[in-house]
Amino acid sequence: MKDLKLVNFKSLGDERGGLISLEGNRNIPFDIKRVYYIYDTEAGVSRGFHAHRDLKQIAVCVKGSCKFIIDDGDVRQEVLLDSPLKGLLIESMQWREMHDFSSDCVLMVLASELYDEADYIRDYDTFLSEASK
Ligand code: T46
């Protein structure tokens, strides 16, 4: 697998506080069609456990932290997201798991497509078989 792609965002903040601007096809490498965020995750809860056939996403912990595992069917890599200044690019056909959410974690995700359950692969063996094609 190629190295995980972390995108560093430029802070436009000043003495009043922080400000980050995210723009499709500028500092986000796709047209942004959907934004969602995950928050108030209970202690010990893990999420994800799926891949997407076509979807690309950028995940940003705008508050707190959580750990991502990204698996291309060959190599599993782990990354801690703990800053609003960095985004993890999640490519299509990458299995993802999210663990170790801090109690204050707000995980914002920018997505290249509208929600489509048919794009999900929620079974790991099916993912491995599609990833090896
Ligand atoms: C991903 C990781 C990082 C919708 O109806 N619309 C949406 O836009 C989303 C994201 C979810 N949903 C529904 C589907 C499920 O019934 O909300 C429910 C929870 O979704 P899910 O169990 O897929 O959530 P996570 O946290 O496991 O995964 C989410 C995204 O679904 C997924 O695309 O990459 O965050």
pLDDT per residue as tens digits for the range 51-107: 999 999 999 999 999 999 999 999 999 999 999 999 999 999 999 999 999 999 999
Which listed residue (50, 63, 67, 86) is catalytic?
Answer: 50
From the CA of 4, how far away is ligand 1's center (Å)? 21
The two structure tokens encoding residue 102: 């801090």
Backbone dihedral angles phi then psi of residue 129, each to the nearest 5 degrees: -70, -40
Per-residue model confidence (pLDDT) at position 1:
61
pLDDT band per the 50, 70, 90 thresholds, residue 3: confident
Q: Please give the model's pTM, rounded to 2 decimal places.
A: 0.97
d(CA 68, CA 66): 7
CA of 12 to the centre of ligand 1 (A): 30
Give the chain's domains with CATH numbers: 5-131 (2.60.120.10)
Look up tokens 């750990």; give the residue.
Answer: 67
Q: Rounded distance, CA 87 to CA 64, Å?
A: 13
Mean pLDDT, the chain, rounded, equals: 97
Res 69: pLDDT: 98
Rounded-to-integer distance, Cα 81 and Cα 103, Å: 14
The response to whether residue 47 sits with its C-beta less than 6 Å from ligand 1 reads yes
Cα dihedral 106, 62, 65, 2, rounded to 10, equals 120
Per the annotation, the verdict on 50 as an active-site residue is yes
Q: Which of 92, 108, 98, 97 is nearest to 38 (CA)?
A: 108
